[in-house]
Structure formats: structure tokens, C-alpha cells
Structure 1
Amino acid sequence: MALFKNKRMSLRGCVATVAISSLFLLASCGGDSGSNGSSDNESSEEIENDDSSSSCEDCEDDATSSSSAKTKSSSSVKKGSSSDSEVNDEESSSSKDPEESSSSEVCEQDSCSIDQPDEFIVISGVAQKGPFASGASVKLYEFDSTTYTRTDKNFTGMIVTNDGQFTISDVTLAGGYALFEVDGHFRNEITGLRSKAAVTLNALVDISHRKTVNINLLTHLEYERTLYLMSLGKDFVSAKEQAETEVLKAFEIKSKFASPEDLDIFGKGNGNAALLAMSVLLLRELKESELNDFLDNLSTDIVSDGVWGDEYAKAEIADWARTKDLARKLAEIRSNIEKWDLGTVPEFEKFVRNFWYMNYGLGECDSKNNAEVKASSNELTEPYGTQIRYICKDGAWIEATDMEKDFYLSGKDMGEDGEFWTGLVTEKKYKYDEKLGEWLEADSIDVILDNACVETRIGLVDGDENGGKYYCTANGWLSMVDKWSYEVPKEVRMNPEIEYGTMTDSRDEHTYKTVKIGNQVWMAENLNYADSSTTPSLLKNNWCYTYGEKSENCTVAGRYYTWAAAIDSVKLYEDYTIKCGDGETCTLPDTVYGICPPGWHLPTDAEWNTLITEVGGEKTAGIILKTQTGWDERKGGTDEVGFSAIPAGFREINGYFGNEGLLGYFWSATEVDRDNASNMYVGYYNGAYLRGSSKYFGYSVRCLQNEQ
């Protein structure tokens, strides 16, 4: 006989028949463990065995199921429960005290068995989409491995922190299979914030030999596929392994990892990285409220054949992954996750990249195919059929430049100097620079002129049939007629049809071009003298264009001088004791040599007027005196007499420069009043005029040769 001491048992319907004469006891008991683990034992019915005269009905009919129940109960007994023990009827009735006998059942060993509750266990783990947030519920359902359905028996836990961790206590199951379900809000990896919508995830697990279970997207997506495979006759382990492999393959992941219920997005290793990548890819920029439906559709899609057949969804996710990857936005997602400070964030990026690589038909990128160029072969992706190409560089596919895709497999490694070639993909024009030893992208002017501006042609001037004129620089062709530029040397601006003279300034050995106009001999370029040691009037009163001294600009356009510097006010005071210049009015000598080279002087208004009259008067003189190029919007002149006035603009009192490309200003040796002096100016109009301006402005200086 079996004696069960002090044992609380949940029984539904028990009938016993005892044949006293043969000391035969037959008990037939049918049990149902209830609906939830926390109340099963409290609601159970207590069966007392006061004597051996109990009756038992229908025992023969239920003998087989009872025997089966006995086998189950003997395999899992709560600690402290006594096992079956052999006693005789007299001992049972005479040696037990009332308290013991009230909680005991006496049966002949081979003819009566009673279901016993399984051992209480505690299940813990972590629920992750991103981590489920506080308030999410976790349920554990007993799972019937015969019908592949969950029973009414369930146990509930709750996530109380924002890290997804849960614990379910007092779990008792008849078998080893359990279905977990978590429902609630989660922490969004894309935004870094708590989700506004809830999501539900499942996990089907054999908990016979485990006390921890993690619930995640992989456990969820393999769940229904596992059930389907089991319905076809596969055992649980094989079905689960196959389902896991198929789900990972749907995300272009071919490796085999630990069991899905052991993975953790905050763990090290490729398996955890792959899980996090799946989480990022599936959420992407999908509305959180749409995630449940998307997961349901995906699960349904793979359930019968293990293949994710929604090519449109995969292409859309691949496009998102490519955009984020190439824009370096995956780092922002990593930063969002790291800010939660829940553990190591594994290298999920490589699996995100691999997903779009494979869906684009690019394949892997490694040393074997470095520099290979490919287009997307997936007609559902955004770049399909466009000129976009991808190049394998340093282990990653990135968007190829026009040159990389145009020259890939072209065989055009070299060319002749200045040779043109048309790209294979974009049909852009390229030019070969022999000195640099490389192909360069040709610009529109190269094409218009049919003349490649390369290193060996710097300084070349060419023109088009529409009056355009261009100068070849290290940066390509530069328009000379549309806009002012300091990159064009002053000599190129001068009229090539004029026979210029030259003059060398003995003070600094600088040579200037000169030109005779009427009876006057003028400098044909602006003065560029700056020795403030020899000429103290220049100290802090002369400048090159730009904010910061750039001597190369002075080489092109000369210097800007205040009026006091131009007349050499210090020299005037030393020679004539004339106090003249800024804020002073004075009577100047007939000839003011100023800062001009020996043998030259600063022209007066009268001498400027002589020039203007010589070239047709003030209304049209500007056209004659201006250079042909360098004036904005093609407002240059004819430069018929070779004066070659350029639009150098001026320097304002506050240090700003202005009007370059529009106006040219030249000091006169004629004073207007204590604060203003005269100057001649030409602009984007036709005339040339004299006017008064502040003595503090910085203007150009043109010197006039002294009469011989």
C-alpha cells in the first residue's frame, strides 16, 4: 500500500470501493489542476481517510488513466513530500493519529494512484523588443504537447522596471512545455523613448531543464512555425531548431547561435547582435501601432514553408537600412540604446548592413572583391534602374562616385594629355591630365571650348563663339568676362593689341607697364608700393584686398591707399612744412610727387580731365579706359588706349572692402576740404567722373610721368 502523509491534493471527483474481506482497495480519481498557479492549492478539495470503509465507484473504468497519473506524479514531487511506503491495514488504522489520518489516503499499491502537484519552480528572464517597460505583463501558460494548444493553467508575472526583467513564482506544470506571452510598452531603439503603443511577443519553451527564459522577436517569430513542424511529426527540438534557422535566414543571417530564449540584446556575441539587428530592422520607422500587425503577417507568411515571401516588405526595410547606414545614422541608434545603460550593446550594425547588402544583390564585401562596383539587382528597391552604384571599400559597400562607376571595368587607366572620354554609366565627360597622371571630371567650359584645361595648359586663354573669354587656372577654366577674380593675372587683362612700355621703380625694383595716351604717359597698372620704413606715410595706411594681407592680390590689383598716404603727407611736411592730410586742409604744391616712383607724380584733377577729354569726355570715357574683362556681368570696356582700368573697388573706413568687380577709384592730388579729397572713378556704366570722397577711404593710385 502507498501512504501519502500531510499532503494537500487537488482532485475533481473521487470514488473509492473497498473490498474489506480481501483487503483490496481500488481507488479511481480524475483530476484538473485549475486555472492559475497562485490559487490552485488554496482551492483544492481536502480528502480525509478516517477509515478503510470508503466506497469507490467506476475504478475499473479509470484504472488506466489513474495508473498514468501515478507515473506523472512520481516524477515531480515537491520537496518534503513523502514517497509511497508499504504498510498494512491494521497499522494504517491503529498507528496513525487523527491529524495524520485526516490528510492521508490508504490504497493498495497496484490498484489505486492519486495525482500529485508538480514541484514549485520560479521562472525568470528578460522580455525584449527593445526592453519591455514597467507595467508590461508576462504570462506563462501550460502547453499541451499533444494538442499543441495552451491549457487553462497559467501563471502571471509583471515587469516593474524599464529593463524588461520579470519573475514568475510558484509555477507547477504537469509537463515540460510552456508558452510565454509578454504584452506591454517597450523602449524604442530608433527614438530612444518609451513606445506609445503596446506589442505582444511569445515564446514556446521546454522548461524541464531551465529556470530562465528570455522572450524576444526570434522566439516570437519561430513560435507558430515550430507548432506547424510538430504537427507534421517533427519532435519539439528538431522543429524548434529548424524554425530558428529559417527565421534567421529570412533576415539574411546564416550563422547558428544559442537557443533564442537565451539571447539578450545586451549581451556580447553575434547571436545577441543578430537579435538586436532584427529588432532594429523590423521597427525601422514603422508606426509603433502597426508593429503587431506586421509581426502577425510575417509569422503567417513563414508558418507553412519557413520562407518570408513578402519581397516588397523586405525591399522597403532594405532601403531604410541602406539610407541609415550610408548616412551614418546607425550610430544614433547605438547612442540611443547605450543611453539606457543596461549593458553591452553588441555589434548589431554588421547584420543591419548585411540585410540590405543581400537584398540589393551585392553580396559580401571583403578583400576578395575590394573595389568591385555593383548596382542593385532587386527591382523593388529604390535605386534599381538608376545610375546609383555601390563600391566595395574596406569591408563595406558604399555609394560609388561618378568616376568610380564610370571607369569600373573600362580599361581607361591612362590617356593622352587633354584627352576627353565619356563615362560608361553617367555619360559624363572626363579629361586626362598627363602631368597629374589621372582622369579628371571635365567641366562645362571644357566641353564648350572642346579644350581641356589641364596642368600643362594653365595660363592659356580661350574664347567661345558667344564672346566668352576664359582663363585656364589650376582649378579649371575661369570666365574673364562675367566676374572679377584675383586668379587672373593683370597682364592677361591688358589689351594685347597695345604696345606697352615699362618702368622700374628704383625703390623696390618693381616693374610696371606704361602707356602713352595723347601727350601723357600713364602707368597702365595700379601702384603696388608698401615700404613704410622709407615712406612713413604708408604706415597703417595701405592694404591688399581681403581680410588679412594677401600679397598675391596686390600683385594683381595693386594696393589701396588713404589720401594722406597717396600724397605722402610726412614728406610734404618735411620738405615744405605743409601740414596736410587727414582732418587738415592745406595748399598743395603744383606737383605732388606723393608715393609715386621717382620721375612720376600723383595726377591732379586738371590732369585727370586732360585724360578724360582725350578719350571722348566723361560720358563715354569709361568705356575707353576700362579693361575688356574682369567687370561683373560683362560690363567691361574696349581698353582702346591701353589705360586698363580694373574694378578693384575700395576699402572703407571700417576696414571692409567693397565694389570689387563693379567700380575702380583713383586718387587725385586735389583736395576738396579738410575731410575730403578728389578722385576719378569708372564703373559698370559708360562714363568716367571726378568726385570728392573721404580722405580715410582706401583707393588705388595711378601715377603720371613728369613732363620731360
Structure 2
Amino acid sequence: MKYLEMSRKFICSVAMPLALMFAACSDDKSVAGGSAEETGIYANLENITIHGKARMAKALGGDGASEGRIVVTGLEKGSVVSLYQLDPETFALSDSSITEVIGDEGAFAFLNVTLECPYVMIYATRPGSESAYPYSVLADVRDADEINIDILTHLEALRALYLVQSGTSFAQAKKQARAEALAAFGMYGVADDIRVTDTLEYTAMISSLMGVLPTSIYSIYSISLPWPWENSNMNKLFTAVAERGAFLNVDSELDKSFVDIVSQQVDKLRMYFSVPATAYQKLGDDWSRDYQVRLRMVEFYAGMLAAAFDAGQCDQEHEGNVFEAPRGTEKGDYMAAYDLVCRSGNWNLAHKELEHSMGSMTDSRDGQAYKTVTVDIDGVSRTWMAEDLRYDGGEGVSCDEDGCIYNSLVAAGLDSSYFIFKYEYESYEACVDYWHAENAVPYGGIEDYCEKTMADPWVQLDVTKVDVSDTATHQGVCPDGWRLPNPRDWESLLSFVQTKLDIDGGSSVLYLFDIPPFGNSVGMGLTARYSIMWLGQTPDFVPSPSQGLLSVYGVDFVTAPGYAVIDDDGWTDVVNRVHIGGWELKFSQGNSQIPVRCIKN
């Protein structure tokens, strides 16, 4: 509650003329849940009920590695709401408050309350002693049947209270505060009743604001506090919003931290969108809606960056304008290589385009046509398939509507004789005997564990039988004139991206993906794999994608056998597969079923 005390001291520092306050408290309005009768110059504010809901956006069950759908829900049950009356002469908060506990779905109610003036400040504080700040709302209890509290009303309340204490009428202060709070974050044209009239837009807006103004440092909440965004910066932002209606260009450290945290949120969305839209559509209406929510969030974050970089408002006059977003070079600057593009009244983020040329080829074996992409790397042109191979070569390949996956051995034109299979135990019986001797039971039971362990040996390429030199080429399952890319081909492609965009390892791999709405920077058009998992499963549990958690894995491809660095310590070994996703290329050995991309000889 430290922030609550700071807020009360801050707003009590400015006095307001009695005449203005006298007029403000004599408006003839009805009271939510109470009587509309007038008593002298005041409305009847005796024994009234003040009720409402405190709302937040959250990813259902999200824990960082996996993420659920974004929804608007009530603050956690057990959150505390505190109502402060405003002094009719100074608009200062009263020294005492009325406190209640939030119930189901964020609902709260103050029963049988008697007020001297209809203007109140209500704070809602989430559970936990380390909550960074409470949500709040500055309200006229006569204006609505239900009072709404969320992150936007908190920003409005900070500014509106400062304005009324400075002499602005209550109605004008509320209107001005809302417009300024939204504009401070690059948001324009947001309807006053958006929460009711456009729930998708409201969800995206609230989630975007919460993403850059997290309320807790703990990961048990939907959004945790990343390291650049310290409480001191949060307090600077809130103070600036209250006093100026804006927070940018006040403090260089604050500006930098704001750009950093927005950019981190954008990177999370880039990962999400590396999975194709069709995948979310297959998961059902709830996930299709989630996809649309996050598309809108990208535009909200683009607006925030446009505000941070003084790109101006995206309106008809600026339609089609492209603004190159500045990027820092110091450690901690997360700004990727984006352009801000003004389209249809909203700023959009687009990956910078790298020079490449698109083409096509046809596989003579089955007549399948493929898009291709050619890039010039250090004066050498390389042409890649811009789609996964779809050739059904029989044994070792599995094809469906999503494409084909190949056994790594078959894809490279090898067989099991080229691998060394290493088992944890000499035999199934040896595994069972080991666990009995240990007087212990592994997960799943001894028999089941030993059966699965013996069926999944560690696989290693036999380098005495496979050409793994730098000049080796493996056509494998690729068409004539094409071959499997080797580790050096992938490393060279990623290095090309990093050099051209002047970015480090980081999330540079994401420029190899086709990521709506950011684009397909280098034409490779990779798409990530995903899975849906469920928590709390029981034997009679029936999985429903709408209740699941999404994990994005990136994508794996077969490579021609060759040497590559396979761990962070620089250990080099022979590999035959590459994982592209998250933040890097990772090479490994194996004989699993994965896709193939071919490169032209």
C-alpha cells in the first residue's frame, strides 16, 4: 500500500477554490443505486450503494514457457478496494477510507454509504505485499450504475485529480484526462464505451497497457516485471502523467526503459505469430479470437513506439508514411529492426526488408511447384526453397495437409547402418534389475519406464561412414540439382540477416519466418510448430483447445551431416538437424521425423 499513501500525499498538495468546489458538488444528478432527490445544494447521498467491477487482462494459465489465451477477467478474489471521499473544498482525499474485499469476477460493493459529495476515489489493490501499484478510478457516483476500474481508469484518475485540484471542472477534467492518457501511449479514436461496444478492442488495449505497466514482479500473475522497468521508472511515469498528461521526453532513462519494455512485448508477439494463422483457426473460435486480439495489440504497441519516437499520429494526412524506428546499441536496448508504417489510421510494425528475389521451381518427380528465394551472400548467390519439401518418397516419410516430414536417415539418403545407437542399459531386463536393486520406482513404473527407455536410444552418427567434410554434398530426398543444406548454409544465412540488419544473435532468427503482421523479411517464409497442453488432467479429462496453453517451438529441419557448434560452451560435433526458433539456431543429432528445405547446387 506504499504507492497508495504516496498517491494521497501527492494529490493533497494542491488546493482548490471553494467556489469551484461548491459548484461542482451542486450538480443535479441521480446516484447509482440511490436516490435522485436533492437536499439543499447536494444530491441525496445518504445510505447509497456504490458497486462495480475491477478488471484486468491476463493470459489464462500462462507461465512464460507456455501461454494461454488473453482474456479480460476480474481482479483476483481477495483483492482489496478502498473508497476515499473527496473534500468538497480542496478535492483532497479523506484521511479515512471504506474498505471492502473483491468477490467473484472482480465485483465489489460499498453498501449503505453516506457521502458529503458525489466525487470519490476508489483504489483496487491486487493480493501480495509486492504489488507495484493499485488500480484506481476517480468517479462521480451519480454517473453510472456500475463503476469500472482498470489500468486505463487508473491513468485517467491520476491526471483528472491533478486537473480538478488545479481548477478544471470535474467533467472537463475527466474528458481531458482520458484523451491525454490515451495519447500518451499513442492511442487515438478509442470510444468512451469501448468496454461494452467492442470487447475485442478493449481486451487488446487493456492487455497492451498492462504489458508495459505490470502490477507485480511475480510470475504467478499474467505479466511479470522485466528487469529494465523498475518501480522508480513506473513512479516517474505516473507522476508525469498526473502533472503533464504525458510522460515521454521528461527523463531519458524513463524513455529508454519504456522503449525496452514495449520492444520486449513485441518480441513475445513475434514468437506467437511465427505460428501460421491457420493453426489458430483449427484450434477453434476462442483461439481465432485470441489471434485477432494480438494482431490489434501489435498496432497498439506500434502506436506506443510511434509516440516514443515522435512519429506523430497516424491519420489520413500520413497514410502510407514509413518511419524508421531508431535502435539503440547499448546492452539492454531491445529495439529490433522495424519500420513503422501508417496504414488505415494505425501505426503498424514491419520487419525491414532484406534484398532478395523470389522465383519458382517444379519437382519433375511429381510435378509439385515450389516458391524459391535467392539471396546474395558475400558475392555468392544462394537459392533456397521457400517452402517445405512435399515429395512423398514412400518409406520414412509422412505427408498430410500440413506437408511432409521425413525420417532424418531417409532424408539424407542413409540407413540405420550409418548411426551408432547407444542404450542407457544393456537390455530391458538389465533396466528392470537396476531399479529393483535401487529399491526405487521411476516415473510411470519400472516396466513402463524400461520399455520406453529401451525404445528410445541415444543416436550418434558414425563419422567413419559419413562424409562430413566442408565440401560434402548430400542430395538425399531433394530433387535433382538440389541438395540438403548443411550447417554452414544455415549459419551463413543467419549471419547475412544479422549483418544486413545490424543486430546480434538475439531474435534475429525470427527474420527467417513469415510473421504476420511483421512480414517475411528475407523471403524464407518459415513457420513454427506449436502444441497445446492442459493442466490438471484427470483420467476422465476431455481436452479442449479453448482451455489449453500454447507452446511455440520454432521449427526443425534435416541438414546434411556436418560439423557444427552444438552447445553454449562451443562444443563442436557432427550434426544432422537444426532447430530454428526462439533466439538461435541449435544443431543436434537424431533420426526423428522433421521437414526438409532444399538448397540449389
TM-score (norm 1): 0.36
Structure with greater proportional helix content = 2
Structure with greater proportional strand content = 2
TM-score (norm 2): 0.42
Tell which has more relative contact order, 1 or 2 (C-alpha 8 A, sep 6+): 2
Instruction: State which structure, 1 or 2, has the greater radius of gyration over its C-alpha atoms.
Output: 1
